[in-house]
Amino acid sequence: MHTITLNKIATQHVKTFFGWVYQNEILPLKTPIPDGALVALYAIDGTFLAQGYYNSRSQMCVRVLSYDLRPIDSDFFRTRIATALAKRKALAKATNAYRLIHSEADFLPGLMVDVYDKVLAIQINTLGMESYRTLIIEALVALLAPQGIIDKSDAKVRAKEGLQTQNGVVYGEVTQDITIHEHGISFAVNLHEGQKTGFYLDQRYNRHTVGGYIEAHMEVLDIFCNAGGFGLYCLAQGAKVDFVDLSAHALEQVALNITRNGFDTNRATITKADAFTYLTQAKTASMRYDCVVLDPPPFAKSKRASFGAIKGYKFLFSAGLELAKDNGIVALFSCSHHVGLDTLLSIAKEASATANVPLEILQTLHADADHPHILNIPNTAYLSGIVVRKIALD
């Protein structure tokens, strides 16, 4: 096995179970190492630290697979996947769809696996993990006996790793119409199209939580509604919901999901529009809602992009606050590690001062349990949310 010696900073990071090593944290290589190769990591004093795979193309040149010196073989992957499966047993009470493997958070960096009833969707996004593709699929088939497996890997990410991408069914059969269930609500999923691995499973708990604040007489605005997740939970409570998204495909899914659940279509409006334009026009029209849900796509995929992204979040929250009725609710989410909970709370506090209205924090939210947050790997805490009430003073 190839070996790499780490500097003191990286040594301390790996000792505390941080899963990445950066290019500037390794000592000069004694011999060239092929990209994708398995490597053992050592401290300057010769102490073994961990093993992982190497890629000189990536800023994160090593991703840790194990903190023990052990074979990375079929048994390794079966054990890791079986452990992840056992951790998610409790979710079976609420859903038949969940994330089984969440990359570094399940100590399988570069791999994501989602379960959709009897079908699996996988992403293999790194060169090192790609070399274990056959072992991974064999382990998934042995442990879960799926009807089919579809590859939904991220082409842009793989290109940076020096990989080509040709997604599609890699095992068995995957139908184009799959029905998943969350807390009694049904969603249609087409894994041959749609977002990433198919559906935003990480918001499951948050959808259920927001829905718990809704009553039959209420009016709700679901901005960036995607397939209608938050709004459908509100419809289930008897509310009226305005669904807004720029994607025609997403809105088709909303209509399908409303029908599939048997909800009254007279209580739902579906609008194809840019969220910022819609909010601006809604403010001008003095529209008001009992609940406004703001769940945008990631505005900040890097720390550098976070400064511009915060401006977007400020506009969204301020607009949502203006559109909320007295004692109404506003829910704001960020799916970027670089715009976390503290930032969202700061944005809310600033908007509160500008609007001269006090806000009650009802809940702070994060990804559901199938998207674990590993304390030692801060980037695994990527989804944050706040639910606030616009207090009307006498």
Q: How far apart are CA 35 and CA 39, in angstroms?
A: 10
Q: Are residues 262 and 281 in contact, defined by beta-carbon separation less than 8 angstroms?
A: no
- CATH number for 2-66 (one of 2.60.40.10, 3.20.20.80, 3.10.20.30, 2.30.130.10): it is 2.30.130.10
Query: Average pLDDT of 110-139?
Result: 97
Q: How far apart are CA 234 and CA 231, in angstroms?
A: 5
Domain 200-390 has CATH 3.40.50.150: yes
**Structure tokens of 264?**
């009254």
Give one DSSP letter per residue of 188-209, joined into a string. Answer: EE-TTSSSTTSS-GGGHHHHHH
Q: Grade residue 338 by pLDDT with cuts at 50, 70 and 90.
A: confident
| CATH topology for the 74-178 domain | Transcription Regulator spoIIAA (3.30.750)
Q: How far apart are CA 118 and CA 16, in angstroms?
A: 37
Give the residue numbers annotated as catalytic, written as ranges. 335
Q: How far apart are CA 51 and CA 54, in angstroms?
A: 10
Q: How far apart are CA 143 and CA 78, in angstroms?
A: 8
pLDDT digits (tens, 9 = 90+) for 304-313: 667 778 999 9
Q: How far apart are CA 84 and CA 137, in angstroms?
A: 15
Measured distance between the N- and C-terminal CA atoms of the chain, rounded to whole angstroms: 72
- pLDDT in the model for residue 308: 77
- pLDDT in the model for residue 196: 57
Pair type for strands 2-5 and 38-42: parallel
Number of Cβ atoms within 10 Å of the Cβ of 42: 18
- pLDDT in the model for residue 307: 75
pLDDT digits (tens, 9 = 90+) for 180-216: 999 999 999 999 985 555 689 999 999 999 999 999 9
- pLDDT in the model for residue 197: 53
Q: Are residues 256 and 184 in contact, defined by beta-carbon separation less than 8 angstroms?
A: no
Query: Average pLDDT of 355-372?
Result: 97
Pair type for strands 119-124 and 168-172: unpaired
pLDDT digits (tens, 9 = 90+) for 78-121: 999 999 999 999 998 899 999 999 999 999 999 999 999 999 99
Query: Average pLDDT of 135-158?
Result: 96
Q: Do domains 2-66 and 74-178 have the same CATH topology?
A: no
Q: Grade residue 48 by pLDDT with cuts at 50, 70 and 90.
A: very high
CA 277, distance to chain mean position in Å, is: 26
- pLDDT in the model for residue 170: 97
- pLDDT in the model for residue 298: 77
Q: Which of 294, 289, 95, 121 is nearest to 196 (CA)?
A: 121
Q: How far apart are CA 78 and CA 76, in angstroms?
A: 6
Average pLDDT over all residues of the chain: 94
Whether the per-residue pLDDT at 76 is higher than 90: the answer is yes
Strand order across the beta sheet in which 168-172 lies? 97-102, 111-116, 119-124, 148-151, 168-172
Query: Average pLDDT of 48-73?
Result: 96
- pLDDT in the model for residue 195: 56
Q: Grade residue 254 by pLDDT with cuts at 50, 70 and 90.
A: very high
Q: How far apart are CA 197 and CA 200, in angstroms?
A: 8
How large a percentage of the chain has pLDDT more than 70? Answer: 97
Q: Grade residue 297 by pLDDT with cuts at 50, 70 and 90.
A: confident
pTM: 0.93
Q: Where are the domains positioned within the chain?
A: 2-66, 74-178, 200-390
Query: Average pLDDT of 19-44?
Result: 96
